[in-house]
Structure 1
Amino acid sequence: MKKYLGFILYLACVIGFSQNKQILYGFSEIPQSLLQNPGGKVDNNWYFGIPLFSHIHANAGASGVSTYDLFADDGVDFNSKLESIVYDLKPNDFFTINQQHEIFSGGFAYGPSYNKNEYISFGLYQELDAIVYFPKDYAVLVYEGNQNNINRPFSLDHLNGVAELISVLHVGYNKKVNERFTFGVRGKIYSSIINLRSLNNNGTFITKPGDNNVYDHIFDLDLSLETSGLVNLTEKTDFEPNDLTKQILLGGNLGLGVDLGFTHQIDKQWYLDGSLLDIGFIRHSKNIESYELKGDYIFEGINPFFPEVGSGQTADEYWTEIEEEFEDLFTIDTVKTKYTTLRPIKLNASINYAFGEKLDKECDCTSEDSEYLNRVGLQLYAIKRPRLPQVALTAYYYRRLFNGLNIKATYTLDSYSFSNIGLGMSAQLGGLNFYIMADNFLEYNNIYDAQSVSLQLGFNYIFN
């Protein structure tokens, strides 16, 4: 049983992801930065993303544990490492997944020829998002067993998690009101492909000395799992890839959402910006199936615990009898009730200072190009999660090396690490733009010891 628990923890360490895009935020040379702040600065007249290659994003992490903690070749016994993880992790520790893949995107400025101060952007992307909290009491029960925990109640509310696969069709509007203020709004249509949700679970499990047998196993259960889109994919006998394509193209459970953002230029060098993303919901009414296990149960075990010699009962028959006892004891109700899920709202806010005007070498004076070469700032990020919000604080330095090449370095404090250093680059050759970003560089000498690793890249054609 300990080996199975270790394997589960290993998978959790490998697949954990997060949603923060601190390097992309505010990187106005990259059109996809408008997805982080629809009211951000716009640095192009029009663009289109190279289909399927304009934005690819994934970042991995897990709070409180890494793969190296469990599998390091450091002479420490595996069981000792597993024991440390089981007892050190808390119910609020989590493993999250977030991945995005942009299918197509584009944008264009419009308005008077001398002052194109309005901008429309649009696109379609696919997103996978999930969070699972560490089931502390479940893990302790699996690791220790119940024989050494007589009369100890194990809390079943530690089981919490949500997961969803969606597509998002969006259109954004950006308006530069004047030299000091810009605002933006983005409307979204969500199409949920798969949704799994198990929240607000309650109950206890306790083992006590029994009257009719050695132990009584007492369950007080209020557990549930809501699903949509899963039945269609797993039970449909004539399922084809086109069925999945239809769900991506607004054929799934639909919802609506909005993003809001702004940029305020305080003076020539200081500016403030912020955004609220994914203020919305999804209504699940198609291919829904939920499972509920509620009630009080007492399992007294099989009498006798093991078949007597010569009784004629085989081991297979014995375990089959136990299985049938559990099936008779627990009744899982299957219901098809419609439900609504709220999107995880995200907050971005930053204060920024630009400096270092470009000089003309011939006259040793300020260039007509009024853009500053350097920028520093602080960015706050937060996302609403079922138990507690996830929060990150980032300090950054931006440098425009020359026309067509820009870099950004970040230092982030978050739930995973206090030493997350990231780097991003945007390069443009003619109209072709390429960008790549990654973080947690200090852990690259031992990637298995990193609690989060992020990668973003993409190609666009931009006309400035």
Structure 2
Amino acid sequence: MTLKKLPFVFILILNFCFSQNKQILYGFTEIPQTLLLNPGGNVRYKGHFGIPLLSHFHLNTGGTGVSIYDVFAEDGRDFNIKFRDAVNKLQPNDFYSTTQQLELFSGGFAFGPSYNKNKYLSFGLYQEFDFVGYFPKDYAVLALEGNQSNIGKPFKLDHLNLNADILSVLHVGYNEKVNGKFTYGVRGKIYSSIFNVNSTKNKGTFTTVNGENNIYEHIFNLDLAVRTSGISSLINDDNYDFSEDIKTLRKRVLFGQNLGLGFDIGFTYQINKQWYVDGSLLDIGFIHHSKDIENYELKDDFTFEGIDPLFPESNEGQSANDYWSELEEDFEDLFEIDTTQTQYTVWRPVKLNASLNYAFGKKKLKDCDCLAEDGGFLNRVGAQLYAVKRPKGLQAALTAYYYRRIFKGLSAKATYTIDPYSFSNIGLGVSANILGLNIYLMADNFLSYQNIYDAQNVSLQLGLNYIFKNEN
């Protein structure tokens, strides 16, 4: 494996990642964190608080196109052939993303008239990492094949498209049960950015044609930009002090230097005793980056014939290292990258959840051989639609689920999800309430666990809360 392939090996490894869908947690009303997915969900307890740093951990990682196994499997095939096949298979709209969340603290309580506490206030603070990047197809082809075999082909520079955020979110939510049929909720959010790297507005092409004064003529149409915040002050500090950097990062967790605002909305509507619909829109908001900014821009249009960027053969008397060093010096003189501190705004990835649900099966009482009319339904089935807005359009998933209240204090939910990455994503979640302590564990894509390296996505959620139950 040559050094020029290393960046793309890294990209393929990152391809083992996924989006932000929490299809198992959504609608699991015993768990307080469902209010983060639908602030208008049903609330059946009078209060809760999350065990600090343990109430909710979420990791969701996966992607489209190829898996790690496609490239690194020990199947007797040459690595270079498998690597080239993977690059050829991947397309510019194939993406890779990773989402991680850690709840630092959370809580909530019901309030309202003493006979009918139909309002619920929830609050908390969580840290989130969110990365999405699209496969830079033409960059990879140019690095692998060079331009000699692609004369006249315009390599599209907009294939470089990514955004990475590390932030904290302070939130307060309001939930009200208006009547027996309709519940709504809203949640306000203050975003505190810790880091951001953003490169989603790239344009231009690079084309090589047969030249007149040299073998080849190179046509550059460049409009590239990488915007960063929160990084420059750390990496450009000559007097590096790890403890001081940690203190700086801690200060950014709550009301840090780059702030934003957002909100969530949601509802639940009970059609009849057994059918209901619900839905939500999440993260309608933005972060304005105004401090610790360092942007890199490269904008130019020109034609150049001064170099001949052909990969050298070993018998030409020039080593690859000598060739690339000379080429690097030429390009440093050729391209002038502007560094700016221009402020910028990044919109949050808006998410949609919607579901149609049917509940059935009453608990049967042994002493009278009759149904417990006030005990609720034991089973529930339904379908959920999820979508998230990304730089190149919507990413969507459709989930069918079965929920079962096994016995008092123990519930389970099984899901089957179809999305751009897999048609066989089966998940399972379990929630247990023991003396007021709520414990839950959720994971999906079980069919891929027999060969985890061939999985398109993996998701894990777990947490601990204490719940104050209603008297009735």
Deviation by residue 1:309-352 (Cα, 9 ceiling, x = unmatched): xxxx9998876554332112101011111111111100000000
1:354 aligns with 2:359: yes
Deviation, 1:249, is 1.2
Question: Secondary structure of the residue that 1:324 maps to in structure 2?
Answer: helix
Higher mean C-alpha deviation, range 214-223 or range 411-420: 214-223
Question: Secondary structure of the residue that 1:130 maps to in structure 2?
Answer: strand
Distance 1:363 1:226 in 2: 69
Deviation by residue 1:122-178 (Cα, 9 ceiling, x = unmatched): 000000111110111111111111111122221111111111111000000000001
Indicate the residue corresponding to 2:427 in structure 1. Answer: 422
CA, structure 1 residues 431+76, in 2 after alignment: closer, same or farther (shift >3 Å)? same
**Which 5+ residue runs of structure 1 have no aligned equivalent?**
308-312
CA, structure 1 residues 315+359, in 2 after alignment: closer, same or farther (shift >3 Å)? closer
Q: Which amino acid aligns with 1:432?
A: L
Residues 297 and 329, structure 1, Cα contact 8 Å, conserved in 2: no
Deviation, 1:283, is 0.9
Indicate the residue corresponding to 2:94 in structure 1. Answer: 93
Q: Which amino acid aligns with 1:278?
A: D
Distance 1:320 1:260 in 2: 55
Distance 1:154 1:431 in 2: 60
Distance 2:369 2:309 in 1: 96
Indicate the residue corresponding to 2:296 in structure 1. Answer: 291
Distance 2:345 2:269 in 1: 35
Question: Secondary structure of the residue that 1:175 maps to in structure 2?
Answer: strand
CA, structure 1 residues 41+303, in 2 after alignment: closer, same or farther (shift >3 Å)? closer
Indicate the residue corresponding to 1:241 in structure 2. Answer: 246
Indicate the residue corresponding to 2:390 in structure 1. Answer: 385
Indicate the residue corresponding to 1:220 in structure 2. Answer: 221
Distance 1:242 1:142 in 2: 41
Residues 47 and 107, structure 1, Cα contact 8 Å, conserved in 2: yes
Distance 2:137 2:289 in 1: 30
CA, structure 1 residues 241+305, in 2 after alignment: closer, same or farther (shift >3 Å)? closer
Indicate the residue corresponding to 1:438 in structure 2. Answer: 443
Moved >6 Å (runs of 4+): 303-307, 313-318
Indicate the residue corresponding to 2:337 in structure 1. Answer: 332
Deviation by residue 1:419-444 (Cα, 9 ceiling, x = unmatched): 10000000111011100000001111
Residue in structure 2 matching 1:12, options 11, 14, 18: 14
Residues 17 and 58, structure 1, Cα contact 8 Å, conserved in 2: no
Distance 1:224 1:427 in 2: 49
Distance 2:175 2:310 in 1: 71
Deviation, 1:200, is 2.2
Indicate the residue corresponding to 1:374 in structure 2. Answer: 379
Across the aligned residues of Structure 1 and Structure 2, the Cα RMSD in angstroms comes to 2.1
Question: Secondary structure of the residue that 2:357 maps to in structure 1?
Answer: strand
1:257 aligns with 2:258: no
Distance 2:329 2:430 in 1: 61
Deviation by residue 1:4-42 (Cα, 9 ceiling, x = unmatched): 25522442234x231000000000000000000000011
Distance 1:452 1:319 in 2: 37
Please list, as runs of the form range in 1=range in 2, the aligned pairs for 1:116-127 lying within 5 A after superposition: 116-127=117-128
Please list, as runs of the form range in 1=range in 2, the aligned pairs for 1:26-105 lying within 5 A after superposition: 26-105=27-106
TM-score, reference length from structure 1: 0.94
Deviation, 1:81, is 1.6
Deviation, 1:72, is 1.4
Aligned residues: 458
CA, structure 1 residues 42+328, in 2 after alignment: closer, same or farther (shift >3 Å)? same
CA, structure 1 residues 316+25, in 2 after alignment: closer, same or farther (shift >3 Å)? closer
**Which 5+ residue runs of structure 2 have no aligned equivalent?**
313-317
Residues 8 and 140, structure 2, Cα contact 8 Å, conserved in 1: no
Q: Which amino acid aligns with 2:63?
A: A
CA, structure 1 residues 394+317, in 2 after alignment: closer, same or farther (shift >3 Å)? closer
Residues 124 and 167, structure 1, Cα contact 8 Å, conserved in 2: yes
Residues 36 and 277, structure 1, Cα contact 8 Å, conserved in 2: yes
Higher mean C-alpha deviation, range 223-232 or range 25-34: 223-232
CA, structure 1 residues 396+316, in 2 after alignment: closer, same or farther (shift >3 Å)? closer
- Percent identical among aligned pairs is 65
Residues 215 and 308, structure 2, Cα contact 8 Å, conserved in 1: no
Indicate the residue corresponding to 2:315 in structure 1. Answer: none
Deviation, 1:303, is 8.8
Q: Which amino acid aligns with 1:98?
A: T
